[in-house]
Every structure is written in structure tokens, then in C-alpha cells.
Amino acid sequence: MASIVVEPADQAPEKGLKTGALGLVSSVVIGVASTAPAYSLAATLGFVVVAIGLQAPIVTILAFVPMYFISIGYQEMNRADPDCGTTFTWATRAFTPRVGWMGGWGIIAADILVMASLAQVAGQYVFELFNAKGIGNNATSGWVLLVGVLWIVAMTWICYVGIEISANFQKALLGIELTMLTIMSVWALVRVGNGSAPIGHIVPTGSWFNPFAVKHFSDFVIGLADMLFIYWGWDTAVACNEETANAETVPGKAAVISTFVLLGTYALVILAVESYAGIGSTGIGLGNSANTGDVLSILGPAIFGHSTLASVLDHLLLLMVLSSAAASTQTTILPTARTTLSMAVYRSIPRSFERIHRRYLTPTVSTVVMGAVSVALYAVMNYISAGQVIKDSVDSLGVMIAFYYGLTGFSCTWYYRRNLTSNLRNFFMQGVMPTAGGLILFFILGWSFWYYWQPVNSYTHWGIFGRQIGGVFILDVGLLVIGVILMFAMQAFRPAFFRGETLNRDSATLVSEEFLTKQAGTK
């Protein structure tokens, strides 16, 4: 290997987190659980089918491509700099402190935004699990709000008392989730195969896997954007890197493995559900607007029937979605708390956020503030436009996800830019794949802005300067504007970071030959 006169990235300062607490299995569990497969499918699949019809399976597979490419970018950046700030730290090193700060804000904004929807689903499913469907079906009920708030508080406490407790809790929740998704899917496919599925079912054909069969390109792109939400969350495995054994390799490997687990799970479930229920606009059809917000609770009784065993399985299905929302609530708090911890350590936000519990070795202020802000935002959003803003918040997540995932991909390529020609492996894994993932995601981001500008494509719309604008667009732009305002406010009070004094940029001096040799041995 030719000699490359460069220096390694500065080692991240000790943050006080519990090192070596997680292994590969725990990291994969956290990565998969963070996406909340059951909750994500329940909340999103109906909208995807409405947008793209029977081609949902192929769009599921195609949406995996940028996710996989970006996970490679995460893996490569984590090898060079295993810092729990992830996008914040890496974009600062690769580009400028302002770019890095906005990357960190993208993580925070996306995680806080999704908490309202997670809490609402958890609140509804608690009542449905105990057959109190009258309350559970009313998303804006005060009782649902109360349970949702208590849910956030409980998950915040679990995150507060230790990463190992969080990981073990995730294993139990994810076990229930994947088992029930598999049982439901196989049961549905068997009923389709033996002819006992209801009227409206559709036998899968090759056209389901033809993306050119989607009628409108705009629908195809929005379907991809919705799928970003379904796949989003595996990066939590990397956000916990400083608490993971072999921090340079295990978190990145766990992120990549998580994306493949999700691909297999989603491909099976979506194929089975679409075949069994069809895409009709009545009954259990996935195109029924009454079902789009939650397809799984409707499909459970239809798939399993009405026997005693069916009742047990139906309640287990409800428990699955509930556990999925619980898992995702918890693993949404984890990366946000660690991002703000890292931002505080590098003096880009107030230092109080870097406080660590002496016994539990977890972020204290960062965790509690995340929970408190989530509760406040959920309560406000629950009453704005009768809770319709919460539905818009799910659609708006695609922009935030595309922003910070795409930025990570670009950071990887720019960080390693002088290393790309050292061998074929680095050219593709540090250059081509992360950049391609970033370009795809930023294209979806731009298209989403154009699409959701139109009020007809959101649940809410607001009059600004005499023009009606979609609520999703306003949420996304509003969050980005808030991020810019906060960034300049922090620059006034934390100038050292923005001058590059607390987190040295390392784009000019990339990685040492020693690191390259080590990397080649672990590929």
C-alpha cells in the first residue's frame, strides 16, 4: 500500500458513558427495534398503498437501496471516529461547524417530531388491548393523551437508568414483534393460497415488482419518502457506539445488519398483507381511508378469525404494535440524548447537557429534557386541528430523515476524499455508495418540499400571505428555520465551537496508514 502522509482523527473526549455495555446482538436489536417495524407498518402502509398501489413490494425493496448505502457511510465514518454525536460530529469534521450543527439539529428535530405519533399509538393500543375500543378509537381522547404522556415518562425513565436495561428490554419487545409479524404474514399467505381469504384478496403477480407500473412519478417518489420512515431508526445502533464493545467496528456492522433484517421483514409482511387485504377502498382493503392510519388492528381479526385461539392471536398482535411503539419511543430518546450530550461536550450547546449520572453512566439532563419536550409537543399537537397535525408530522419526517442521513453520506465521501483511490473497496464503500445514497435522499427531500407545498397533500393547511400551504411543508420549513435560529443563538454564546476550536475539522488530514491497514483487515 502506498504511503499516505495523514493523521488520524482526534479521539473523542471521554463523555462518561458506560463503555463495553453492548455487544453485536444487542446493537442489532437496538437498531431494528428503533425502526419499530410493526408500528411503522401500521402507521404508514396504508398511505404507501394509496400512493403507489400494488407496487408497494418493489418500492419497499428500492427504498432499501439508499438506506443500505447510507448505512455503509455510517459504518465507514464510525470506524474513523466512533463518537455518539454521529452526523453532528462527522459533518463538522468533514465540512464546517455550522453544517455539523444543523446535522445534529436534524437528528433532534426528527426524533422529537415522531414522539407525538408514537405516544398516540401507544395510548390507543393500551385501550384496544383491553377491549376499550371506544376510547382507543378516539385518538384525541384525554385518556389516550394521559396514557401517551405516561408512556413517554416510563420510556424516559428506562433510558435514564441504564443502557443495558434498555437493551434487555428491547430484546423482549423485539422478540414479540418479529414473532407476531411472521405468524400474521404466514397465516395470511396460507389463507390466500387455500382460497379462504375474503373477497378482495389478490394473488401476487410479477407486476407487483415492476416500478414502472406506478402511474405517476410523483406518486413513486412520495412512496419512497414514506418508506424512508418505515426504514428509519437503525442509526441508533451507531449512536450508542461509545457504549459498545469494539466501538470502531461493531456499531457500524450492526447498522448494516439491521437494514437487511428490516428488508426481509418488510418484504414478507407487505407482500402478505397486500395479497390478503387487497387495495380496495372498502372493508379491510388497504385503500380504505378509514384504515390508513392503522392497518394492523383492522387486519388482525380478519386474518386470524373469531375462535378462542384467534382472539389470543389478535390480542398478541395488538400487544406487538404496542411493544413496537414502546421500543421505538425508548430508542428515539437514546440517540437524541447522546447527540445533545456530544454537542454539549464540544461546547456547541449549554454544558448542562453533558451531565452524566454517576451510578447509571447515562446522560441525565439530555435524557430528561428529551422526554419533557416530547411530552409538551405531544400535548400541543394533540389539540391542534383535532390532532391532524400529528398525522402531518409522520409525513414530514421524510424530509428530516433524508436531510441528516443524506448529509452523513456526503460527509463520508468528503472526509475520505483523498483516500478513495487507494483501492477499489474504498472507492465504492467510502465514495460511490455513500454519495449515491445521499443524492437519492436529497432528491426525495427536494421533491417532498414541492409535493407538500400543495395543501391538498396534507391533513392540515394554513393561510400565509393569502395563500394556503400544506401543513407538512410548514412543519418541515418551520423546524429548519428554528434550527438556523438556534444555531446563530448558540454561535453568539458558544463561539469557540463555531471557530473550530473544540472539534477540530479533519477533512484535510484524513486517516493514517495504520488506520487503513487496520480497516483492510476488518473488511
What CATH number is associated with residue 41?
1.20.1740.10
What does R_g of the chain's alpha carbons equal in angstroms? Answer: 22
Do residues 89 and 502 make contact, with C-beta atoms less than 8 angstroms apart? no
pLDDT tens digits, 408-457: 999 999 999 999 999 999 999 999 999 999 999 999 999 999 999 999 88
Q: Return the SS3 of 505.
A: coil
Q: How far is CA 391 from the centre of its chain?
A: 16
Lowest mean pLDDT segment, chosen from 114-123, 185-194, 285-294, 403-412: 285-294
Question: What's the one-letter identity of residue 312?
Answer: V
- From 29-43, 233-247, 408-422, the region with the lowest mean pLDDT: 29-43
CA distances from 288 to 47, 188, 282, 458, 512 (A): 10, 19, 5, 17, 57
Residue 295 within a domain: yes
**Residue with the three cell numbers 452526523:** 87
**More confidently predicted of 71 and 383:** 71
- Torsion sign (Cα): 63, 64, 65, 69: positive
Q: How far is CA 165 from the centre of its chain?
A: 21
- Assess if residue 270 is contained within a domain: yes
State residue 470 phi and psi, 5-degree precision: -60, 140
**What's residue 271's pLDDT?**
94
Question: Is the residue at 241 inside a domain?
Answer: yes
- Contact present, 116 and 42 (Cβ < 8 Å): no
Between CA 454 and CA 468 the distance in angstroms is 8
pLDDT value, residue 13? 56
CB 101 within 8 A of CB 490: yes
Q: Which helix (H) or strand (E) holds 468?
A: strand 467-470
Global pTM?
Answer: 0.88
What pLDDT score does 490 carry? Answer: 95
Provide the number of structural domains found in the chain.
1
Residue 208 lies in a domain: no
Residue 196 resides in a domain: no
Q: Is residue 423 part of a domain?
A: yes
202 domain residue, yes or no: no
Does residue 204 sit within a domain? Answer: no
End-to-end CA distance of the chain: 16
Report angle CA 122, 125, 130 to the nearest 5 degrees.
Answer: 135
User: CA distances (Å), 307 to each of 70, 303, 311, 313, 505, in order?
Assistant: 45, 11, 6, 10, 63
Widest Cα–Cα separation across the chain = 71
Taking the C-alpha atoms of residue 7 and residue 510, their distance in angstroms, rounded to an integer, is 6
Question: What counts of helices (H) and strands (E) characterise the chain?
Answer: 20, 2
Task: Name the pLDDT band for 114 (thresholds 50, 70, 90).
Answer: confident
Structural domain range at position 466: 24-191+216-516
9: confidence class by pLDDT, cuts 50, 70, 90 = very low
Q: Name which of 324, 67, 64 is nearest 184 in CA terms.
A: 324
